[in-house]
């Protein structure tokens, strides 16, 4: 690894082809922004410093970059005068002088891997070149800078699409936009760039010609896995790269011991963490910082965002967000776990149950048709079918507590704030408005009356009406 590595991340362009109010590099893919993926890869190359060039929407892009790379220096490019100008602005931001190796990357290549950057920087350093270009051979090179080589195969120049001759446009080897420089050479070359070209811009790629003229070494590193250097300029490319990124993540997890029944309908974000022998059934989406422990089975048709799932838990047809599910617990089918849900070991959140901001203790069950909001339920308690934790009085939310080993009847309403003790019971149809002590039975439904002969009398009344 280069001992003294500076990485410049170019992210000043707006990305008009996205047709979006959101900057191109902030578009999400695989659970991070595009630039989030790039910064992640960059950090794996262990740079001494990172300089990010921002311009369009710097107020949103700048803080986002610092979130992903806290030590980065932000350089502001006032007008988008080209990649060469962007690097000039970057060097200026650190006082104009830099030593060691400088790696320039663009902010929109979400599939880029840290190890590719490392290998590239290492090769550049070992070869003691002035400039190295990371290149790829693509099916359709339109829009890219073409790599022009001489008869010996040495890189002579990079020619941009707009400036290329018809013969040069036939070249399939392209500039990925990722280049490595000897810092001293770069500092000098940046000052020599001119914008006398079809784009009227300062091209960073002109440094290749400058190095050649000075008799310095230029080299290229061809990356076989060309998708790593592909950028998403519009939403069609974003979706294509998104599917490919997901395919790679799913394959990596299968190789790490996760069973994925249907890779095509399984979506796993980059920051999700899975354990061995997890099983993912078709239609499963694991989003954000979701963590799933060994032997858990998720799906089918389940979305979990920022959830933590315990060993051997079973989650069926569920939508969950910011929920913690204990070992051996069971959820669904058709459960909605809202933020702050915590289910203890071997607990159950069953069918057509919605939970929010509630702790349900070990072995406790909410099996059917219920809403549990702002509640604390002890251990080994059973909540009857069709129970509503009425947590909202129209103005404020209130909490309900239910103790351990308590059994509540079906079709109950708990009007918060209220508390039901340990080993307590409630009758079917109870509306709990006052606290229930430990061991007590609460009933609130009025005693049932049976009115004998009612059907016959009603029939008689009806036939009178018809007369």
If one asks whether residue 13 binds ligand UD1 (CB under 6 A), the answer comes out as: yes
Q: Is 325 helix (H, G, I), strand (E, B) or coil?
A: strand
Residue 107 binds ligand UD1, judged by CB under 6 A: yes
Subset of residues 59 to 88 that bind ligand UD1, contact rule: CB under 6 A:
77, 80-83, 85-86
* CA pseudo-torsion sign 123, 129, 134, 140: negative
Q: How many residues belong to the site for ligand UD1 (CB under 6 A)?
A: 27
Of 102-110, 262-270, 368-376, 421-429: span binding ligand UD1 (CB under 6 A): 102-110
The region of 43-51, 93-101, 202-210, 372-380 touching ligand UD1 under the rule CB under 6 A is 202-210
84 or 310, CB closer to ligand UD1?
A: 84
Q: Please tell me whether residue 145 binds ligand UD1 under the rule CB under 6 A.
A: yes
Please name the residues in contact with 196: beta carbons below 8 A apart, sequence gap of 6 or more. none
Instruction: Check if 368 is active-site.
Output: yes
Q: Is 188 exposed, middle or buried (0-12, 13-18, 19+ CB in 10 A)?
A: middle
The correct pick among 190, 204, 343, 375 for binding ligand UD1 (CB under 6 A) is 204
What interhelical angle do 206-213 and 183-192 show, nearest 10? 110
Report the Cα–Cα distance between both ends of the chain, in Å, rounded.
101
Of residues 234, 99, 83, the one with CA closest to residue 160: 83
Distance CA 328, CA 381 (A): 16
Which partner from the list Ca ion, ligand UD1, none does 185 bind, CB cut-off 5 to 8 Å by kind?
none
Separation between Cα atoms, residue 389 and residue 409, nearest integer Å: 13
Beta bridge partners of residue 315, listed in sequence order: 298, 331
Binding partner of residue 83 among Ca ion, ligand UD1, none, CB under 5 to 8 Å per kind?
ligand UD1
Stretch that binds ligand UD1, among 5-13, 62-70, 280-288, 315-323 (CB under 6 A): 5-13
Judged by CB under 6 A, the residue of 34, 42, 112, 158 near ligand UD1 is 158
Binding site for Ca ion (CB under 5 A): 231
Q: What would the two tokens of residue 135 be?
A: 């290149």
The reply to whether 226 sits near ligand UD1 by the rule CB under 6 A is no
Write down the catalytic residue from 124, 196, 368, 398. Answer: 368
Q: Which of 237, 45, 245 is nearest to 134 (CA)?
A: 45
- Dig out the tokens for 117 from the structure: 């950057």
Part in contact with ligand UD1 (CB under 6 A); list of ranges 9-17, 339-347, 395-403, 451-459: 9-17
| Contact by Cβ (8 Å): 329, 343 | yes
Per the CB < 8 A criterion, the answer to whether 66 and 54 are in contact is: no
Q: Could you tell me the two tokens for 33?
A: 């922004």
Is residue 362 involved in binding ligand UD1 (CB under 6 A)? no
Q: Are 195 and 202 in contact (CB under 8 A)?
A: yes
Q: Measured from the CB atom, is 81 or 306 closer to ligand UD1?
A: 81
Report d(CA 302, CA 331) in Å as an integer: 11
Binds 308, which of ligand UD1, Ca ion, none (CB < 5 to 8 A, cut-off by type)? none
**Residue 269 in the binding site for ligand UD1 (CB under 6 A):** no
Among 52, 53, 111, 249, binds ligand UD1 (CB under 6 A): 53
- The least distance separating ligand UD1 from the CB of residue 104, rounded to whole angstroms, comes to 9
Backbone CA torsion sign across 305, 307, 312, 316: negative
Query: If binding is defined by CB under 6 A, does position 209 make contact with ligand UD1?
Result: no
The option from Ca ion, ligand UD1, none interacting with 11 (CB < 5 to 8 A, set by class) reads ligand UD1
The catalytic site residues sit at 368
Positions in the binding site for ligand UD1 (CB under 6 A): 10-13, 53, 77, 80-83, 85-86, 106-108, 144-145, 158, 160, 174-177, 203-205, 231
């Amino acid at each position: 690894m280069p001992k003294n590595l500076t990485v410049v991340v170019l992210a000043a362009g707006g990305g008009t082809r996205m047709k979006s109010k959101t900057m191109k590099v902030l578009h999400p893919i695989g659970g991070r922004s595009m630039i989030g993926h790039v910064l992640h890869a960059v950090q794996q190359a262990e740079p001494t410093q990172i300089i990010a060039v921002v311009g369009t929407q710097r107020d949103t892009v700048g803080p986002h970059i610092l979130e992903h790379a806290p030590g980065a220096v932000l350089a502001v490019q006032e007008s988008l005068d080209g990649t060469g100008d962007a690097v000039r602005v970057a060097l200026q931001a650190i006082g104009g002088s830099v030593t060691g190796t400088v790696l320039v990357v663009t902010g929109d290549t979400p599939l880029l891997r840290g190890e590719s950057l490392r290998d590239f920087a290492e090769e550049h350093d070992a070869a003691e070149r002035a400039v190295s270009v990371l290149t790829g051979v693509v099916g359709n090179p339109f829009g890219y800078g073409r790599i022009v080589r001489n008869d010996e195969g040495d890189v002579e120049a990079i020619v941009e699409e707009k400036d290329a001759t018809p013969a040069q446009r036939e070249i399939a080897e392209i500039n990925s936009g990722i280049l490595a420089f000897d810092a001293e050479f770069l500092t000098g070359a940046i000052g020599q760039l001119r914008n006398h070209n079809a784009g009227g811009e300062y091209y960073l790629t002109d440094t290749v010609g400058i190095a050649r003229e000075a008799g310095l070494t230029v080299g290229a590193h061809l990356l076989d896995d060309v998708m790593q250097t592909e950028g998403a300029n519009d939403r069609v490319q974003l979706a294509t790269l998104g599917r490919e990124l997901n395919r790679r993540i799913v394959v990596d997890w299968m190789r790490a011991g996760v069973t994925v029944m249907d890779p095509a309908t399984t979506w796993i974000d980059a920051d999700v963490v899975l354990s061995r022998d997890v099983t993912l059934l078709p239609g499963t989406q694991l989003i954000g910082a979701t963590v799933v422990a060994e032997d858990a089975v998720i799906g089918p048709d389940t979305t979990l965002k920022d959830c933590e799932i315990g060993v051997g838990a079973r989650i069926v047809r569920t939508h969950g967000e910011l929920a913690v599910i204990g070992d051996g617990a069971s959820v669904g089918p058709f459960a909605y776990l809202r933020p702050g849900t915590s289910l203890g070991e071997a607990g159950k959140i069953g069918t057509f149950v919605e939970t929010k901001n509630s702790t349900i203790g070990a072995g406790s069950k909410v099996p059917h048709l219920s809403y549990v909001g702002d509640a604390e339920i002890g251990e080994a308690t059973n909540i009857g079918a069709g129970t509503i934790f009425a947590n909202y009085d129209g103005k404020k939310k209130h909490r309900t507590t239910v103790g351990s080993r308590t059994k509540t009847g079906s079709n109950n309403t708990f009007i918060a704030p209220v508390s039901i003790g340990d080993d307590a019971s409630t009758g079917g149809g109870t509306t709990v408005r006052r606290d229930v002590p430990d061991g007590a039975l609460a009933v609130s439904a009025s005693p049932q009356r049976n009115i004998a002969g009612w059907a016959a009398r009603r029939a008689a009344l009806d036939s009178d009406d018809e007369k």
